[in-house]
Chain A
């Protein structure tokens, strides 16, 4: 590494160290997401559903109410029809129940998967309580296998998202502000090679990435027992390829701009759809089947899928070749484009 490149890489790390917002986004934000979402979806107590009950006179209604209140899976909220409609509308209950003569009526939104699930659950509980005998003998055995929890699904997604956002905002924004401040022009009046400046951003980004993954993975392990089931080297390889691709994207986006506001808007425009369609928070299987191969081509989705293949399914380098190829193509294309179009 040349003297000038080394000094510029040290400079990248210095800028990161001395910028409180960089510290916040790289180190604090992913941990905050992990703790909030991990905490919310990792309850060890048994799951409960909120259901509404319209008080009704009569023996049958009393039996039903008592059966519901006896089942520890349900939290029953009593109130008249308008109260129940309000509770359902605001999501405070998944469904509400009223009884007329010997019939139980469930009121719920049939398009809402959670409500449908609760309806089946309540019905099962009531039928059993009222004496139905199931013809098939069954037994429930609850298991918590590492890799099957929501937090295991979430952490690879969060890591990919973190590498994505910090590359886009860290690298690109710095370049744009250097151009705005005429610093790039000033560099061009010295003998440094322009490619060294771009390379210093890539190398600096990769070094910061090491810190990022170390913190996210070790926090995930300490707080939630998260573990990578597959090859750690393959995981690291994917981190390097993904970060390089995202940093190249950032350099390409910022290659001609000199307004940080414009850069911000374009990056947000790019980031929001990828954040929603990247499979970070929920599985892509929720999307229509025909869209899934297309979504898999998005660079963020490729990295998320690759991370999960290794971390959850125990994959190795060969298992993530398609994802690595997508990221390499994106990275090389953006880097080549930047080299050609970069405005100093």
Chain B
């Protein structure tokens, strides 16, 4: 049996800004139908890593392969196949939902699915509403819709549920699960441990730009989590894993 080619293969990728080593020798791969979550405290290098993976920033060293194509030489065709939702990226607030999806659809050569996305994201009734009049959850759905409008095989989601209420969050989780079931690869950057545990097949935990652990949530909890906590708090184990690996000090300075 031929082994499946990973959608994304990252090998020893590094990036420094002056004296600061933002990302240091990061390697992992992502297969079709798989969700890999990048976890890490503030300043761990998650956003820099994603920016390199989607071609916004050049790595200083290492290789990024999509299938067997290097990003550096096949960027244009790779961008046709990936969908990106960036953290803190605001779309035109004066556009309606439909206009926004149509704008993003126009960027791609292949077939697009604006109408289907509206239905899938439960935004049909808001199709003619401007973004400035949408709730936080609805806006996030539009952002994800823009990333999905061209039917990508690999999706990058950077903090997709940040600042959402529980209902909106669960709705988005269900959407991500259904995207996984369709065979799309998902790279999820998140702070939200419960989200990572619920959605991710594998975790890549970053601290100070380096990978400090990889594995499935169950594997990591078994390896690093305190046994009693795993028993008492069914989903509390991953938090303990995270704190053990990345430290308990604040990282926001």
Contacts and interface: CB of A to CB of B under 8 A. Distances in A.
B99 interface: yes
Interface in A1-59: 3-4, 6-8, 11, 14-15, 18-19
A221 interface: no
B235 to A, nearest CB: 31
Contacts of B54: 189
Interface in B82-122: 82, 84, 86, 88-92, 94-95, 99, 102-104, 106-109
B90 A7 contact: no
B76 interface: yes
Contacts of A189: 54-56, 79, 82, 84, 86, 156
Nearest to A189: B84
A4 B106 contact: yes
Contacts of B104: 190
B80 interface: yes
Given A18-B94, A188-B56, A11 B103 contact: yes
Contacts of A117: none
A interface SS class? helix
A67 to B, nearest CB: 67
Q: Which of B76, B80, B86 has the largest number of chain A CB atoms within 10 A?
A: B86
Contact size range, A: 20 to 34
B89 A6 contact: no
Interface residues of B, number: 28
Interface in A94-125: none
Given A14-B95, A185-B89, A191 B56 contact: no
Interface string A71-92: 0000000000000000000000
Given A14-B99, A18-B94, A185 B108 contact: no
Contacts of A4: 106-107
A14 B89 contact: no
B102 A7 contact: yes
A186 interface: yes
A191 B84 contact: no
B107 A191 contact: yes
A191 B106 CA distance: 10
Given A11-B95, A14-B94, A191-B79, A186 B103 contact: no
A180 to B, nearest CB: 9
Contact of A185 (B56, B79, B130): B56
Contact of B109 (A7, A18, A191): A191
9 contacts: A4-B106, A7-B103, A11-B95, A183-B92, A185-B86, A189-B55, A189-B56, A189-B79, A191-B107
Given A185-B51, A189-B82, A189-B84, 16 more contacts: A7-B103, A7-B106, A8-B106, A18-B130, A19-B94, A182-B90, A183-B89, A183-B91, A185-B56, A187-B107, A188-B56, A189-B54, A189-B55, A190-B104, A191-B107, A191-B108
